C-alpha cells in the first residue's frame, strides 16, 4: 500500500473518532448525582435564631449582633471546631465603661442552653476564650444569671449572626404540619417543602407526585416519580420538559429535605440551551422527606431561589 493511501486511511479514522466523540458529548445526559449535604445553620426570619453547624478544622469568624441597648458596641467570635471540641475566642468592645459582668451561653438547635462561662469587662472591653464539646450552636451573651431555655425575648447584649456563605433554615415548629424550610444568608424570603408522607406509600410501587413551579421554571414541566423499594432506599426520578436555560453560572438542583432539616442533594442539571429535557434519578434512605428544586450557583450548600416544590 502506498504511503499516500496509508495517510488517507489514518486521516479517515481520525475523522471518524472525532465525530464519534462529538456525538457522545452531545448526547451525554446533563445530570450529576452527588453526596449528602446537611444544612449548615438554623435561623428565624428576624435573625433571633441562628444556630450554626461549624465545619471541622476550619476557623469561622462570627459577627455578634448587639441589642438596641448596646447599639454602639462591637462583637466578634473566632470559632474553631476540632476533634476534641470547639474553641471560641471572643472580642468585645464599645460597651459602657461601667458594663457589669455577663454570661456567655451556647444554644443548640432545640433551644437547650449551656453556660460557657462568665465574661468580665474592663472599660467596656473583653477578650476571652471558651471551649465546648458542642459543634452546632448559637452564642448569646446575656445578663441573665441562670438561663435554662432560650427564647427570642430573653434579655441579651449580643447574639451571634450567620457567617457569610452559610446556608440557613428556620427553626422547626413544635406543632402543626411537618415542614422543612430554607433560605440563604441575606435572603428575604423563606421557602418550604412539606413532608411527602413516604411511610404511607406502597413499597415496590411507583407513585407520581405533583410539583408547583415558580420563577425560572414557570412554563416548564417536571414529572416526579417516587418508589420506596422493598429493600430500603426510596428512588426519586425527576424528568424535566420544556426546560428553560439556566442563567450563566447557575444550575438547577434537586434537594430532599428531612423532617429535622437535613438537606440531601439528589442531583443537578446544567442546561446549556442545546436541549430542553433532562432527568435526575437518585435515591435516599430518609424515612420521610420533602422535595424542592433550587436555581443557584453550583455547590454543595443549599442556596438561591426555590423554583419547584413537590406537593403531597
Q: What is the pTM of this model?
A: 0.45
* Contact present, 139 and 159 (Cβ < 8 Å): yes
Q: What distance in Å separates the CA atoms of residue 295 and residue 290, rounded to the nearest whole number? A: 17
Domain boundaries 48-160, corresponding CATH code: 2.60.40
Q: How confident is the model at residue 273 (pLDDT cuts 50, 70, 90)?
A: low
| Backbone CA torsion sign across 31, 36, 41, 42 | positive
So what's the pLDDT on residue 235?
Answer: 93
Total residue length of the chain:
312
Q: Where are the domains of the chain?
A: 29-40+171-311, 48-160
So what's the pLDDT on residue 104?
Answer: 95
Instruction: Tell me the mean pLDDT in the region 172-186.
Output: 32
Three-state DSSP state, 149? strand
Which cell is 194 given?
Answer: 412539606
Q: How confident is the model at residue 271 (pLDDT cuts 50, 70, 90)?
A: low
* Contact present, 73 and 166 (Cβ < 8 Å): no
Of 236, 163, 156, 189, nearest to 45 by C-alpha is: 189
So what's the pLDDT on residue 192?
Answer: 60
Q: What distance in Å separates the CA atoms of residue 291 and residue 151, rounded to the nearest whole number? A: 30
Q: Model confidence over 28-69: pLDDT tens digits?
A: 333 222 222 333 444 454 456 777 878 888 899 999 999 888
Amino acid at each position: 500500500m502506498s504511503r499516500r493511501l496509508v495517510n488517507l486511511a489514518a486521516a479517515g479514522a481520525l475523522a471518524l473518532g472525532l465525530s464519534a466523540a462529538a456525538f457522545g458529548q452531545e448526547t451525554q445526559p446533563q445530570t450529576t448525582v452527588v453526596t449528602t449535604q446537611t444544612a449548615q445553620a438554623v435561623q428565624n426570619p428576624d435573625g433571633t435564631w441562628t444556630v450554626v453547624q461549624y465545619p471541622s478544622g476550619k476557623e469561622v469568624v462570627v459577627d455578634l449582633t448587639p441589642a438596641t441597648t448596646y447599639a454602639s458596641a462591637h462583637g466578634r467570635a473566632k470559632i474553631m471546631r476540632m476533634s476534641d471540641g470547639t474553641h471560641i475566642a471572643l472580642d468585645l468592645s464599645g460597651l459602657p465603661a461601667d458594663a457589669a459582668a455577663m454570661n456567655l451561653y451556647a444554644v443548640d438547635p432545640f433551644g437547650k442552653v449551656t453556660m460557657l462561662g462568665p465574661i468580665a469587662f474592663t472599660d467596656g472591653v473583653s477578650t476571652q476564650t471558651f471551649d465546648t464539646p458542642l459543634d452546632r450552636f448559637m452564642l448569646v451573651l446575656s445578663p441573665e444569671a441562670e438561663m435554662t431555655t432560650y427564647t427570642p425575648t430573653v434579655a441579651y447584649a449580643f447574639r451571634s449572626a450567620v457567617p457569610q456563605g452559610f446556608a440557613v433554615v428556620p427553626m422547626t415548629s413544635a406543632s402543626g404540619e411537618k415542614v422543612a424550610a430554607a433560605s440563604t444568608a441575606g435572603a428575604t424570603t423563606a421557602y418550604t417543602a412539606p413532608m411527602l408522607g413516604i411511610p404511607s406509600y406502597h413499597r415496590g410501587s411507583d407513585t407520581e407526585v405533583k410539583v408547583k413551579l415558580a420563577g425560572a421554571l414557570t412554563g416548564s414541566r417536571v414529572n416526579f416519580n417516587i418508589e420506596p423499594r422493598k429493600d430500603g432506599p426510596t428512588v426519586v426520578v425527576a424528568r424535566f420538559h420544556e426546560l428553560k436555560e439556566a442563567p450563566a453560572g447557575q444550575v438547577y438542583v434537586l434537594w430532599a429535605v428531612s423532617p429535622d432539616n437535613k438537606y440531601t442533594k439528589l442531583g443537578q442539571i446544567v442546561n446549556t440551551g442545546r436541549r430542553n429535557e433532562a432527568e435526575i434519578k437518585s435515591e435516599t434512605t430518609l424515612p420521610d422527606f420533602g422535595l424542592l428544586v433550587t436555581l443557584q450557583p453550583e455547590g454543595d450548600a443549599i442556596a438561591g431561589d426555590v423554583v419547584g416544590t413537590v406537593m403531597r
